Amino acid sequence: MSADVEMIQVYIMGRPYKVPQGLTIMKAMEHAGYRLIRGVGCRGGFCGACATVYRRPGDYKLYADLACQATAEDGMYIAQIPSVPADRAPWVLTELDRNTNPILALYPEVARCVACNTCTRACPQELEVMDYIQAALRGDISQVAELSFDCVQCGLCAVRCPAEIVHYHVGQLARRVHGAYRAPQAAHLADRVREVEDGSFEQALDTLQKMSKDELVEAYKKRDVER
């Protein structure tokens, strides 16, 4: 470590560590010697696996973010959440009643929303979480699907919610219902599914499976890329 690198002190699971300034929480934990085998995924902010809560020195508030996105600060107290223990209601898409609001039937706690906007403030994707919960109350499934589209299922909204709503499961249900029954069907997708079922790509797949790694790399480099 270079002598001119400024070090800061962080507390990970209650223990103090010196780490270089400017690291993300995830990299700070690894620098401190933690081997991350849970609560870590893509490392770039799109999988939602590294939900983390922390406190800043002199601040009573509890903050939440993704460990691969938030920067470690001097005096920060850090605790990871390996998983969010929020129950997903059991449902089968083809068995849902399309004439009623399946969200309220499966997640009645949505009606407890007090519009405090804590869920929105907790979202590392900066989604309008409260707005799509309000849309769920109105039965506007398509609006819920649209507003929750970029959700990475990190669960931080549910962790912070005083009404114990599992927002990310609500969004997932809405997206499935919207995609299956309400979104316009893409003709080109139906054509491609039919081609797959007819075996149109069996020969090409067989050829790929017989290639060596070097041949696959070369074929990948020479592929036609859609502009």
pLDDT for 193: 93
Digit-coded pLDDT (tens) for 82-140: 777 788 999 999 999 878 889 999 999 999 999 999 999 989 889 999 999 999 999 99
Q: Which whole number is the average pLDDT over 175-196? A: 91
Q: Which domains does the chain have, with CATH numbers?
A: 7-80 (3.10.20.30), 93-182 (1.10.1060.10)
pLDDT for position 107: 95
User: By the 8 A CB rule, do 139 and 98 touch?
Assistant: no
Nearest to 110 by CA among 83, 91, 135: 135
What pLDDT shows up at residue 1? 58
Residue tagged 């001097």 (tokens): 74
pLDDT tens-digit series, residues 145-163: 999 999 988 889 998 899 9
Pairwise CA distance, residues 187 & 193, whole Å? 10
Are 135 and 161 spatial neighbours (Cβ–Cβ below 8 Å)? no
pLDDT reported for residue 226? 72
Dihedral of alpha carbons 168, 172, 177, 182, sign: positive
